[in-house]
Structure formats: C-alpha cells, structure tokens
C-alpha cells in the first residue's frame, strides 16, 4: 500500500497551524487577564500553555517578547483559579522558600528531608517571614531544590502552600504540586542563584488572606 505522504504532509501542516493559533490565543488571553486582573478561560490558557510550553517560548522569542511572559501567565492564572480555595483551606499550610535567599554568612543546617532550618538570626528576610509564619500558622521550608518539595509533600502532607521562586521554577513547581494541594506563587523581585530577594510584605499579605 502506497503511503499518501502528500496528504499526511497537509494534515501535519494543518495541525501545526492550529497549534500555533491556539498558542497565540492563549498568550493573548493570558496577557489580557494578567494586565486587567480579569481571568478569561483559565483552564484553556493553562492547558494550552503547559501542553505547548516550548513552542510558546519560541513564539515569544520570534516576536521579541520576553520569554518569561509564558511563566508569568501560568503562575498568575493558577493563582487566580486557586485563590478562593487557598483562602478557605483550614489544614496544614506551608511556605517554600528558595535557599538562594539565605545570607552568605547563614549557619543554618540542611536537613536531608526538610531543607535548611532557619535560626531567625536576622541576617536575611527569611527570618522575618518565619516570624510572620508563626503568627499566621504556616510552616516554613527553606529548600535547596525541587526534590525537597516532593519529600515534604510526601512526609508532611500539607493542604496548601505558598511558593517563592523565579517565574520559570514557579510555573513548573505549581503544576507539579497543584494535584496534591492548593497552591499560590510569589515571584522573586531579584532572582539568580545568589542573594535573591522577595517582596516580604507580599508574602505576609498572602498569608493574611487565609485569616480573612
């Protein structure tokens, strides 16, 4: 039987064009929702952008749009979708902070299961967040990497969490964690691998939303 390469080629091109159109529509809807604080078709946006994550970044590169826009949209749309559930969660609440927020002179010990155990020495913002977390009934985990999130979810079984990281890591982690708990993400205001910072007041406001 002769393989109809011409027909298969046309089908492939049609599927590719449909995929590109879907990605463009998801990006436009996401950008509009992100700027207007009004989420349109959130499940469609999440499905398309996660399904075509790589191609969406390529499209942003081609049109000279910052590639992190894809991650920003994914984080903010998921934040909006899960916000009400987050506010009403009464079980165990946790905060995941990246170890790169630690002060260079930090002497905290790294536990193989739960990560760094903050001594609240006052050298960095982690101590401020830990003190606020005690007031708002959150447990803080300062983690060296994504594998620690999986360990903590498995051993501690939290019902909700606030994650702090750069946008690309947030979008990936929130996708992985959302089937197991209610998630909210806050991006670093200064990212990198060293001496990073988050808006501490924004983290505290997010904790306070659970006490409204």
- Give 121-133 pLDDT, tens digit per residue: 889 999 999 999 9
- Please give the mean pLDDT across all residues of the chain: 89
Identify whether the C-beta of residue 118 lies closer than 8 Å to the C-beta of residue 125: no
Beta strands in 93-202 (DSSP E): 93-98, 110-111, 115-116, 139-143, 160-165, 182-187
Q: How far is 205 from 186, CA to CA, in rounded Å?
A: 11
Name the one residue in this structure whose structure tokens are 């010990």: 109
**Confidence tier at 78 by pLDDT (50, 70, 90):** very high
The pTM (predicted TM-score) of the whole model is 0.88
The answer, yes or no, to whether residue 3 has pLDDT greater than 70, is: no
**How many other C-beta atoms are found inside a 10 Å radius of the C-beta of residue 174?**
22
Beta strands in the chain (DSSP E): 93-98, 110-111, 115-116, 139-143, 160-165, 182-187
CATH architecture of 83-211: 3-Layer(aba) Sandwich (3.40)
The answer, yes or no, to whether residue 9 has pLDDT greater than 90, is: no
Query: What is the domain partition of the chain in residue ranges?
Result: 5-65, 83-211
Q: What is the pLDDT of residue 6?
A: 67
Q: What is the pLDDT of residue 8?
A: 62
Positive or negative: CA dihedral 145, 150, 156, 162: positive
Instruction: List strands edge to edge, sheet with 139-143.
Output: 110-111, 115-116, 139-143, 93-98, 160-165, 182-187
């Amino acid at each position: 039987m002769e393989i109809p390469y011409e027909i298969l080629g046309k089908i492939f091109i049609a599927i590719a064009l449909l995929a590109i159109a879907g990605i463009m529509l998801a990006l436009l809807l996401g950008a509009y929702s992100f700027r207007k604080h009004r989420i349109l078709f959130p499940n469609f946006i999440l499905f398309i952008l996660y399904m075509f994550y790589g191609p969406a970044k390529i499209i942003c590169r081609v049109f000279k749009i910052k590639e992190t826009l894809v991650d920003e949209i994914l984080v903010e749309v998921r934040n909006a979708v899960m916000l009400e559930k987050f506010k009403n969660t009464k079980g165990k609440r946790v905060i995941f902070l990246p170890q790169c927020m630690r002060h260079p002179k930090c002497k905290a010990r790294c536990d193989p299961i739960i990560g760094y155990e903050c001594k609240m020495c006052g050298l960095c913002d982690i101590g401020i967040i830990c003190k606020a977390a005690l007031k708002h009934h959150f447990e803080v985990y300062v983690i060296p990497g994504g594998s620690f999130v999986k360990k903590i979810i498995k051993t501690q079984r939290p019902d909700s969490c606030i994650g702090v990281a750069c946008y690309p890591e947030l979008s990936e982690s929130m996708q992985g964690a959302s089937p197991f708990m209610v998630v909210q993400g806050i991006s670093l205001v200064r990212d990198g691998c060293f001496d990073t910072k988050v808006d501490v007041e924004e983290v505290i406001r997010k904790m306070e939303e659970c006490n409204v």
